Amino acid sequence: MKKLAIIGSGLSGLTLANHLKNKFKVTIFEKARGVGGRLATRRADPYSFDHGAQYFTARTEGFRAFIQPLIDEGSVRRWTARHVEINGAKVIKRSIWKDEEPRYVGVPGMNSIAKHLAQNLDIKTNVRITELKRQDDWQLEDEQGAVYEGFEWVISTAPAPQTLQILPRTFKHHDAIKAIHMNGCYSLMLGLSPDFTPEFEAAHVTNSDISWIAVNSQKPQRGDAPTLVVHSSAAYADKHMDTGKETVIHHLCNLTSQIIHHDVSQAQHKVLHGWRYANNVKRDTHEPFIDHDLKIATCGDWCLGGRVEGAFNSARNLIDAIETS
Ligand SMILES: Cc1cc2nc3c(=O)[nH]c(=O)nc-3n(C[C@H](O)[C@H](O)[C@H](O)COP(=O)(O)OP(=O)(O)OC[C@H]3O[C@@H](n4cnc5c(N)ncnc54)[C@H](O)[C@@H]3O)c2cc1C
């Protein structure tokens, strides 16, 4: 069986691996300690936080078919949150997601979906690929200088700017990928005392350095310890990605306290995570980026306008392109 390397173990990389493993000997290379990429959950007993993707919708038939067995076995559930839209610090609209298009979450954390998909795959974690070299086949080199040889195909699912750093300049879609820009996002994780009583579970915020607040503990099966996940706006993150963490935490805590009318400055647990490449700047859609001569391809949410469902569908589009080639 020919060997195929996938860079990244987010939803797109795991989807690819599961579909291509009968045709190729697939190895996934992942720079992080665990799988899931931006489908991320962090535990700090007694708290747990989804600090990447918050929830997802399922608007395409293929994605609905993919999540149905996960719903049946309980690793995906619908989130029927009380939702508010907030302008500045003022609530301008209330709704209940039970009455609207379904929003889904992984259970007991968003990364449960990735862990489920990762079973029985060959995944090398803590390996950051830095360069591809060609002899007869592809060789992948990591940041420690270790070399992994003999791959007929290489597919990168890393966010567009990181994919560009790895793939050779001769990749025929190099310039198209260079034109795809991604924004950052700060994710502030707050563990609160048991007396916290929220008025909503999910808030989209505009005209603020905050874009989103979730009462993460109110998602299905998250446990009793109250938690908030607060996301900065993309503009704030891009401007302050190199600002000191304490300054960012202080600013986001102040804004959160004003919005939810509860002082979070004394939260029992306060941790900040910065995502340099969180979401697409534009929601453009692209055909799979595939170079049959070099046998290099890319996919990921950024090929289909961002989001969890886009990550899955971009992988499915690429699988179709490879299988019919
Ligand atoms: C803060 C935040 C909030 C979000 N909210 C939502 C939401 O509410 N709803 C929604 O639908 N979507 C949301 N998203 C987007 C969603 O998380 C992504 O669309 C989706 O998870 C992307 O999956 P992916 O497999 O394409 O990429 P990723 O999950 O980013 O996977 C790429 C993987 O490649 C790895 N990698 C990168 N470079 C290398 C390298 N050199 N070597 C080895 N490995 C490498 C990374 O570590 C990562 O694991 C959010 C994202 C963030 C960050």
The CATH number for 320's domain is 3.50.50.60
Residue 10 near ligand 1, beta carbon < 6 Å: yes
The span from the CA of 214 to the CA of 302, in Å, is 24
Query: Which is nearest to 11 in space by CA: 157, 172, 135, 168?
Result: 157
The span from the CA of 291 to the CA of 287, in Å, is 12
Residue 39 near ligand 1, beta carbon < 6 Å: yes
Whether residue 108 is preceded by a cis peptide bond, meaning omega within 30 degrees of 0, is yes
Residue 259: in which H helix or E strand, if any?
helix 245-260
The span from the CA of 108 to the CA of 76, in Å, is 8
What does the pLDDT read at residue 283? 86
Looking at ligand 1, which atom is closest to the CA of residue 37? 49
Range(s) of the domain holding residue 135: 1-31+127-181+284-325
**CATH, residue 102:** 3.90.660.10
Residue 52 near ligand 1, beta carbon < 6 Å: yes
Residue 37 lies in a domain: no
The span from the CA of 40 to the CA of 144, in Å, is 25
Residue 59 lies in a domain: yes
Residue 49: in which H helix or E strand, if any?
strand 47-50
> Does the predicted model carry a pTM greater than 0.75?
yes
Residues 176 and 186 in one domain: no
Q: In this structure, which residue's CA is closest to atom 19 in ligand 1?
A: 307
Residue 300 lies in a domain: yes
Query: Which is nearest to 319 in space by CA: 27, 8, 21?
Result: 21
Q: In this structure, which residue's CA is closest to atom 38 in ligand 1?
A: 158
What are the tens digits of pLDDT across the range 181-208? Answer: 999 999 999 999 998 988 999 999 999 9
Confidence of residue 79 (pLDDT cuts 50, 70, 90): very high
Residues across the chain: 325
Residue 13 near ligand 1, beta carbon < 6 Å: yes
